[in-house]
Amino acid sequence: MEGMDNFPAGYNMGPVRIEPATVLAPMAGITDTVFRRLIRAQGGCGLIMTEFTSSHGIIATNKHPGRRLSKSFHYLYFEPEEHPISAQLFGSDPEVMAEAARVCEASGFDAVDINFGCPVKKVVTCNGGSGMLRNLPLVETLLKRVREAVTIPLTMKFRAGWNDSELVHLQMAKMAEDNGLAAIALHPRTREQGYSGRADWTRIAEVKDAVKIPVIGNGDVTTPEAAIEMVRQTGCDAVMIGRAASSNPWIFRQIREYLEAGAYYVPTEDDRWRIMHTYYAMLIEKGGLDVVGKMKQFATYFTHGVRSGAKLRTSIYQERDAAPILGLVDAFFERELRRGESLATVLL
């Protein structure tokens, strides 16, 4: 495929080398430590990121070290094998954000990332996420304060603007470069678009032409071919993948295989069984209040394209305990795989 030779081997996030040049996007409710470690185990992902985390929540927890850890703090829990890992923060108070970034640095993160992209109403209403795109002076103040507060690399993820008539991607990119950020990631949809329509990759190319710091492209990369095409069209320094990774945790490894051999392995139903079993077992081992909820959530992702997957999902949704759900998964795939083998024998 044209452009494969131009795919970057990696990029430098300040003193931190990210290789390969692929990034797991921060996703609320998805990229917790269990999912991140699952992605790491498949190989091929250069940088992973936490769920976006409230800077106010971090500070509230840090001021009361004897108190039970809050939900916000749990977002920042990670294991040693997750390095390199970046903590993503959101908020609109420069001083609070700076203090939260200090907590992240002290916790051992390799970098801190600021979210200027989340389109969710409750975040935007508090002037967080993409809500900040309408207040560039505040963005600059925030970047300055956080950059002064930490020594680890500072990056940011942002959208192209509030809507198509209020595009600020070039101003945001130049502001980041001027204030010492180590890299930037652009999702080229606007806040108004949400996740609808197509991501306009020409905006990523415009940002790449405007700054010298690494530019990470994000949006509509659902296959290895799309990752190569994004780099070909935009010249970006790395590719960030979000939603596609939730249903295809192998996508980063597939990109590596495609670049090395021009082809990549397509997981079988047996592979889907193994990864679903592994993820559920990891959830049970970690424990917590929402294990069953996570199992139900990821049943939708992991059974994507699986024969009779709807039946398995229905069974999982009806359960209230974790262990029976794991049993349902194993019994379902054993039955389906035997059925597939029987059908193949008949066809022969």
In a domain, 324, yes or no: yes
Task: Indicate if 179 and 144 belong to the same structural domain.
Answer: yes
Place of tokens 């290895």: 224
Residues contacting residue 91 through CB under 8 Å, at least 6 positions apart: 54, 55, 56, 97, 100, 126, 128
Task: Indicate if 146 and 285 belong to the same structural domain.
Answer: no
Task: Mark which of 214, 237, 261 sits at the end of a domain.
Answer: 261
CA distance 206 to 170: 7
Q: Which domain holds residue 45?
A: 8-261
How confident is the model at residue 68, as a pLDDT? Answer: 44
In a domain, 1, yes or no: no
How confident is the model at residue 125, as a pLDDT? Answer: 54
**What distance, in Å, lies between the first and last C-alpha atoms of the chain?**
36
* The pLDDT of residue 66 is above 90: no
Task: Indicate if 199 and 274 belong to the same structural domain.
Answer: no
Task: Indicate if 257 and 278 belong to the same structural domain.
Answer: no
How confident is the model at residue 131, as a pLDDT? Answer: 79
Question: What does the longest C-alpha to C-alpha distance in the chain come to?
Answer: 69
Query: E strand or H helix at 324, and its extent?
Result: helix 322-347
Among 38-42, 290-294, 305-309, which is the least confidently predicted range?
Answer: 305-309
Task: Mark which of 261, 291, 317 sits at the end of a domain.
Answer: 261
Contact yes or no for 185/236 (Cβ under 8 A): no
Q: Before 20, cis peptide (omega within 30)? A: yes
* The pLDDT of residue 331 is above 70: yes
Task: Indicate if 221 and 290 belong to the same structural domain.
Answer: no
The count of other CB atoms within 10 Å of the CB of residue 243 is: 16
Over pLDDT 70: what percentage of the chain?
A: 89
Task: Indicate if 187 and 212 belong to the same structural domain.
Answer: yes
Task: Indicate if 62 and 111 belong to the same structural domain.
Answer: yes
Task: Indicate if 294 and 312 belong to the same structural domain.
Answer: yes
In a domain, 40, yes or no: yes
Q: Higher confidence at residue 343 or residue 42?
A: 42
CA distance 231 to 5: 10
Query: E strand or H helix at 86, and its extent?
Result: strand 85-90
In a domain, 36, yes or no: yes
Contact yes or no for 306/312 (Cβ under 8 A): yes
Place of tokens 């950059």: 147
Active-site residue, from 45, 104, 118, 236? 118
What's the mean pLDDT in 32-49? 97
Task: Indicate if 176 and 304 belong to the same structural domain.
Answer: no
Local structure of residue 223 (DSSP, 8 states)? S
Task: Indicate if 201 and 328 belong to the same structural domain.
Answer: no
Q: Higher confidence at residue 70 or residue 94?
A: 94
Task: Mark which of 229, 261, 293 sits at the end of a domain.
Answer: 261
Q: Before 249, cis peptide (omega within 30)? A: no
Q: What is the pLDDT of residues 149-193, one digit of tens each?
A: 999 999 999 999 988 999 999 999 999 999 999 999 999 999 888
Is 236 a residue of the active site? Answer: no
Measured CA angle at 191 (ends 190, 197), to 5 deg: 55
In a domain, 193, yes or no: yes
Task: Indicate if 295 and 317 belong to the same structural domain.
Answer: yes
How confident is the model at residue 67, as a pLDDT? Answer: 45
| Average pLDDT in the chain | 90
In a domain, 233, yes or no: yes
Among 64-73, 129-138, 274-283, 310-319, which is the least confidently predicted range?
Answer: 64-73
176, HSE (Cβ side, Cα atoms, 13 Å): 30
Q: What is the pLDDT of residues 192-247, one digit of tens each?
A: 888 888 999 999 999 999 999 999 999 999 999 999 999 999 999 999 999 999 99
* The pLDDT of residue 303 is above 80: yes
Per-residue tokens: 301? 């992702």
In a domain, 346, yes or no: no
Task: Indicate if 84 and 225 belong to the same structural domain.
Answer: yes
How confident is the model at residue 98, as a pLDDT? Answer: 97
CA distance 278 to 183: 33
CA distance 241 to 146: 26
In a domain, 163, yes or no: yes
Domain tally, the chain = 2
Assign residue 38 the CATH number of its domain.
Answer: 3.20.20.70
